[in-house]
């Protein structure tokens, strides 16, 4: 809730809505890389199942948690809401800014659902699949629009170009900072999650190996016991 408040309220909310493209991008990262996954992680499974059952949303939540759905819709939202047309039209009024923030949050919930959905069977089961999904959906595709913002030689957004300058920061420099924020800002979250998944995968593999060895030992013990009894009888 604190992160949601920080992204929405003054000063970041005001700067992102009317003055700085870099603040706008920081808001996007907070909504999609912090608020959205923490929202899913904060819901107990029993509560999610009860809500899904009462509202008859179980099947819908399962479909939403498909990696193709989450990855495609998230990146569509990312590209669409960072187009010059969308920014220059929606950021000009309070309702448009609220709508853009809301769509970002929905996109974040969609892209993180296959990884941290509160309903266990809605998550991806393959550890390599989860890591590849995160790398592609949150690492590779966002780098494309980030590159356009970083290397563009002129301002792409009229609303930020014509806004009063903040601390003497030019519109072009501000836009380049926005591109860097988009490209680099999510790296700690994405790679931190991938490292955590690698650790979980290692622990799960170790536990399976230990269980397999214990099972083999249990199966071979009676045979050895019978043989020793037979030799003793002879």
Chain segment 27-56, per-residue pLDDT in tens: 999 999 999 999 999 999 999 999 999 988
Distance CA 25, CA 181 (A): 7
pLDDT per position as a tens digit, 70-98: 999 999 999 999 999 999 999 988 899 99
Among 72, 91, 71, which Cα is nearest to 81's? Answer: 91
Place of tokens 């939403």: 64
Say if 152 falls within a structural domain.
Answer: yes
> Rg of the Cα trace of the chain?
25
Q: What is the sign, positive or negative, of the torsion defined by CA atoms of 10, 38, 144, 185?
A: positive
Tally of CB atoms within 10 A around 62: 15
* Count of domains forming the chain: 1
- Kindly indicate the confidence band of residue 16, based on its pLDDT and cuts at 50, 70 and 90: confident
Say if 68 falls within a structural domain.
Answer: yes
Say if 201 falls within a structural domain.
Answer: no
Quote the strand ranges of the chain, DSSP E: none
* pLDDT over 60 (residue 229): no
Kindly report the CA angle at 139 between 137 and 144, in degrees rounded to 5? Answer: 95
Q: Which residue has the higher pLDDT, 209 or 116?
A: 116
Range of the domain at 179: 2-193
The three-state secondary structure class of 56 is coil
Predicted confidence at residue 222, as pLDDT, reads 57
Place of tokens 């590779």: 140
């Amino acid at each position: 809730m604190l992160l949601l408040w920080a992204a929405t309220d003054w000063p970041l909310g005001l700067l992102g809505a009317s003055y700085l493209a870099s603040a706008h991008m920081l808001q996007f990262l907070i909504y999609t890389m912090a608020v959205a996954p923490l929202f899913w992680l904060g819901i107990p499974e029993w509560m999610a199942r009860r809500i899904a059952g009462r509202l008859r949303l179980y099947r819908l939540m399962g479909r939403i948690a498909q990696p193709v759905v989450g990855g495609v819709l998230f990146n569509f939202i990312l590209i669409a809401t960072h187009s010059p047309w969308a920014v220059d039209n929606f950021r000009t009024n309070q309702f448009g800014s609220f709508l853009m923030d809301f769509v970002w949050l929905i996109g974040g919930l969609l892209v993180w659902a296959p990884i941290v959905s509160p309903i266990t069977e809605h998550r991806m089961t393959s550890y390599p699949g989860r890591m590849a999904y995160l790398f592609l959906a949150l690492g590779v595709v966002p780098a494309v629009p980030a590159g356009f913002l970083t290397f563009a030689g002129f301002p792409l957004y009229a609303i930020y170009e014509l806004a009063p300058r903040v601390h003497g920061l030019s519109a072009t420099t501000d836009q380049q900072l926005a591109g860097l924020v988009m490209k680099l800002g999510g790296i700690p979250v994405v790679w931190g999650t991938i490292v955590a998944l690698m650790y979980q995968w290692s622990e799960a593999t170790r536990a399976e190996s230990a269980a397999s060895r214990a099972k083999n030992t249990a199966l071979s013990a009676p045979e050895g016991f019978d043989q020793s009894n037979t030799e003793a009888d002879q």
